[in-house]
Structure formats: structure tokens, C-alpha cells
Amino acid sequence: MKDLGKLTYFLGLEVSYGKEGIRLSQQKYAEDLVQLANLIDHKKVHTPMEVNTKYKKEEGEIFGDQTLYRRLVGSLIYLTMSRPDISYAAQVLSQFVTKPYKMHYTALLRVIRYIKCTVNRSLLFPSSSSLDMVGYADADWAGCPDSRRSTTGWCMMLGSCMISWKCKKQSRTSKSSTEAEYRSMSAACSEIIWLRRLLSKLGIEMKGSTTLYGDNTSAIRIATNPVHHENTKHIDVDCHYIRELVEDRSISLKYISSKDQLVDLFTKAMSRSRHNYLLSKLMFCDTQH
């Protein structure tokens, strides 16, 4: 083994060090993606996707160059390693790689235009951040227009640093928003337990329980209420899993209002002001600042 000093570049991931902390970005990779898409116009967009727009599997005309679509979406997915702001868009567009239509390619070009306008943004890990971990979980109920499956979204914060996040369509259709939220909370709990064990291996012991914030009071009541409800039998495993973690005091569930829910970024498209507000909370900002 060789000590090559401080990490600065690895597989497209750029790491820079400053007084404010450590920054992660993929600026060169993002610029290469823009070149691959051959975007020569200077049209500016301020959000990855349009608000209240749903994309179906079959609508309009089929896109001719399916290989190009797959290459761009694959690059987009790799870019989400340091770009949480495009995670939701990448999750949506990756569902159409087998048979993309022109409207899907148009949506993909919008995401790439957004990347072109924000190519110098990076994820900041402040040097003054604490080592207290909290999590946020949410779900967009029945958001898929084809299958009516919900979208799970969660992120983990170590102090003010976002260290882990996820955006994924659920494997089963949920009959209620509470069921969708509960499944999202269960997935977030699994990540919390894994991170707690990892941090313990690194010599960072988590004192007390890790707080998981959700904006669905019904889901929180089910998790903290030992009484088994008839209408929760279909999510029985998730119920018992979260209850055990709450009883062991590994996790504590707390309510957070929807306007303060950071995970909206991973479950839906939003307005420019809301989008920028959440990014600032997640310490994702322009490098020069």
C-alpha cells in the first residue's frame, strides 16, 4: 500500500479542502456529460424538472437514438453521487431506458441544461459540523402514473453534513399515504442502523437514539403504538421492525412539518424558490461561495 496524500480526484469525484471544510463535486464529469449531449444552446433552467408533470411509459413518438438516451441516463445516475439535486430526476428518467419516447428525451435535456447552469456547485462538509446524526424520511404517495407506486425518499445528516440519501420507487403499490410513508421510514431505519454500525467501526459512538423525522402523524403513531391495528397487517414486518428499534432506543421518531421536510427534494419536482431553499439546507451550493 502507498500513501498518496490527501484525496483530490478519484473516478470523476473531485475533493477540495478549505477553511470552511471539505467540498465534493464532479465538475469535470458534469462538463463531459453536457458535451456528450451536444448542448450548444444557452437556454437557462433553474430546476431539473417541471412542477406537476408526470411522465408515462408510452406517450407520443418513440425516440430514435435509444443508445444515446441510455448513455446519458447512466451518466446522470453516476453524477448523483455528489449531486443530490438531480436524484429525483435521474430516478424518474431511468424508468424509460428500455423504450424511451421523445418526451422523455426532452425531459432529459432539461436536466442536462440545469447541470450546465449549475456545473460549479458542490457538496460542502463544514469543518465545524457536529457528529450528531439525524434522518429525514418521506414518500410521494401513488406518484407513478403507470403503476401508482409511491416514491421513497430519505437522507441522513451528520451534524449539518448530508452523508447519505436515497430516491427510489417502491416495489409495491401502497393503498394509503400512511402505508407509503411507513415503508419509507422502514427503509430509512435500515440505513440509520447501518450508518450507526459503520460510525462505531470508525470510532464514533452514537450516544442515545438517532432521531428520524417524518411529516405523517399516522405513520408515527403506528410505529410508537404497541397495539396491533387490523389495517396494518399488510405492512406487518415493517411495523415490528420499526417498533423494535424504537423500543431499543436506537431510533426515536419525531414529527416535522411539511415545509421543513428536507426530503421533498427526493420525492417530487418543485418550484425554483423551494428547490434552492432545500439545497441551502443540505449544504449544496456554488463552489466560489
Residue 232 has pLDDT above 80, yes or no: no
Cell reading at 53:
408533470
Are both 150 and 206 inside the same structural domain?
yes
- Given a cut of 90, is residue 39 above it in pLDDT? no
Do the beta carbons of residue 123 and residue 24 sit within 8 Å?
A: yes
Task: Tell whether 273 is covered by a domain.
Answer: no
Q: What is the pLDDT of residues 94-153, one digit of tens each?
A: 999 999 999 999 999 999 999 999 999 999 999 988 889 999 999 999 999 989 999 999
Residue 289: the pLDDT is 42
Most confident of 134-143, 199-208, 230-239: 134-143
Q: Are residues 26 and 99 in the same domain?
A: yes
Cell 401513488 maps to which residue? 142
- The answer on 46 and 86 residing in a single domain is yes
DSSP state of 277: H
Domains in the chain, number: 2
The answer on 72 and 109 residing in a single domain is yes
Residue 138 inside a domain? The answer is yes
User: In the numeric block, which cell numbers belong to residue 152?
Assistant: 421513497
pLDDT tops 60 at residue 255:
yes
Looking at residue 206, its pLDDT comes to 86
Q: Which of 123, 154, 178 lies at the terminal end of a domain, its last residue? A: 123
94 and 143 assigned to the same domain: no
What pLDDT score was predicted for residue 136?
97
The pLDDT of residue 63: 95
Q: Report if residue 76 sits inside a domain.
A: yes
| Structural domain harbouring 199 | 130-256
What CATH code is carried by the domain that includes residue 155? Answer: 3.30.420.10
- Rounded to whole angstroms, the Cα distance separating 179 from 174 reads 6
161-169, strands of its sheet edge to edge: 161-169, 151-158, 133-140, 210-214, 251-255
- 234: confidence class by pLDDT, cuts 50, 70, 90: low
Please say whether the beta carbons of 15 and 22 come within 8 A: yes
For residue 199, pLDDT over 90 is answered with yes
In this prediction the pTM is 0.91
Predicted local distance difference test score (pLDDT) of residue 207: 84
Q: Does 252 lie in the same domain as 134? A: yes
